[in-house]
């Protein structure tokens, strides 16, 4: 029943009081994954695999403050989750991207920064992702390291899936339909498509989409400096969504080719030396 209500929460036919109650239930579920049976089932293998350190500190009596879900979000961005778990985390990411209250870790670590930098957006209580967008735009002004980490994680997640960046997705909806209709969503594919369109001088993106994309490029560049890639999958996502993707891939291909040629040359020299030694 709750799953059905969550799927239809933003329907115009939804009663405001019912919508408010659904949001409260979502906040509760996102605070502790154990209260979300669908997520528990979908991620039953992923949770102990990736988040064991968090589980080891948990007790049945204490809430986890969204730590397990935050752990799974990071693995989603790294493209390491199983299919079923990935689907559930994608839904949670999309929902929390529209309403920061559904992200317990963001609330815990960014409460003061939201009050200081994004009070107007928070007061509006509009579920359109404006608080998250405000935090992204004010990334350089954020003083608390924990909050900055949460915002950097949001940027990382949005690179993996444009649907978890509602402001950018709204701005680029027409361009996605026009230039990236054949590209499957997720794993940074559509974001990579938009980045290629941004670099292509023959492609004319919508002005708002172009502006938002350029903003994201600047944010990602900063994020890459302060939070370097932690693994190969993370590095791959950064490369594929980088504005210099073609250059980076060319240099990688060139380096691999040079290594291959050096290996081939060394192999021939070794064979020749071995043959000469045998002849002696």
The parent domain of residue 278 ranges over 252-280
Task: Quote the percentage of the chain above a pLDDT of 90.
Answer: 34
In 3D, which of 171, 165, 169 has the Cα closest to residue 153?
Answer: 165
Residues 84 and 220 in one domain: yes
Residue 137, both tokens: 């735009």
Residues 256 and 129 in one domain: no
Residues 256 and 130 in one domain: no
Neighbouring C-beta atoms of residue 123, cutoff 10 Å: 9
Residues 236 and 257 in one domain: no
Residues 269 and 162 in one domain: no
Residues 103 and 233 in one domain: yes
Residues 110 and 164 in one domain: yes
pLDDT tens string 123-139:
887 778 899 999 999 99
Q: What is the pLDDT of residue 272?
A: 63
pLDDT tens string 30-82:
888 888 899 999 999 999 999 998 887 766 555 577 889 999 998 988 888 99
Q: What is the pLDDT of residue 228?
A: 52
Task: Report the distance separating Cα 199 and Cα 31, nearest Å.
Answer: 40
- 232 confidence band (pLDDT: 50, 70, 90): very low
Residues 167 and 259 in one domain: no
Residues 257 and 178 in one domain: no
Number of domains in the chain: 2
Residues 159 and 130 in one domain: yes
Residues 197 and 276 in one domain: no
Residues 186 and 154 in one domain: yes
Q: What is the pLDDT of residue 235?
A: 47
Reported pTM:
0.71
């Amino acid at each position: 029943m709750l799953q059905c209500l969550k799927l239809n929460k933003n329907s115009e036919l939804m009663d405001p009081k019912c919508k408010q109650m659904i949001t409260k239930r979502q906040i509760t579920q996102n605070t502790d994954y154990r209260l979300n049976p669908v997520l528990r089932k979908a991620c039953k293998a992923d949770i102990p695999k990736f988040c064991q350190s968090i589980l080891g500190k948990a007790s049945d009596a204490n809430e986890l403050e969204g730590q397990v879900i935050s752990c799974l979000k990071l693995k989603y961005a790294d493209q390491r989750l199983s299919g079923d778990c990935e689907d559930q985390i994608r839904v949670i990411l999309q929902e929390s991207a529209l309403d920061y209250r559904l992200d317990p870790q963001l609330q815990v670590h960014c409460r003061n920064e939201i009050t200081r930098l994004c009070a107007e957006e928070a007061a509006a209580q509009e579920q359109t992702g404006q608080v998250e967008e405000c935090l992204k735009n004010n990334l350089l002004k954020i003083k608390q390291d924990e909050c900055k980490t949460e915002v950097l994680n949001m940027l990382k997640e949005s690179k993996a899936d444009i649907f978890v960046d509602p402001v950018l997705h709204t701005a680029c909806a027409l361009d996605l339909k026009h230039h990236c209709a054949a590209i499957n969503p997720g794993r940074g594919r559509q974001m990579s498509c938009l980045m290629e369109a941004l670099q292509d001088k023959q492609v004319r993106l919508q002005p708002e989409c172009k502006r938002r994309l350029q903003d994201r490029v600047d944010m990602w560049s900063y994020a890459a400096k302060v939070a370097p890639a932690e693994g190969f999958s993370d590095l791959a996502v950064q490369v594929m969504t980088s504005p210099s993707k073609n250059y980076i891939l060319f240099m990688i291909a060139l380096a691999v080719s040079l290594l291959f040629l050096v290996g081939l040359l060394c192999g021939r020299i070794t064979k020749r030396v071995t043959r000469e030694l045998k002849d002696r």
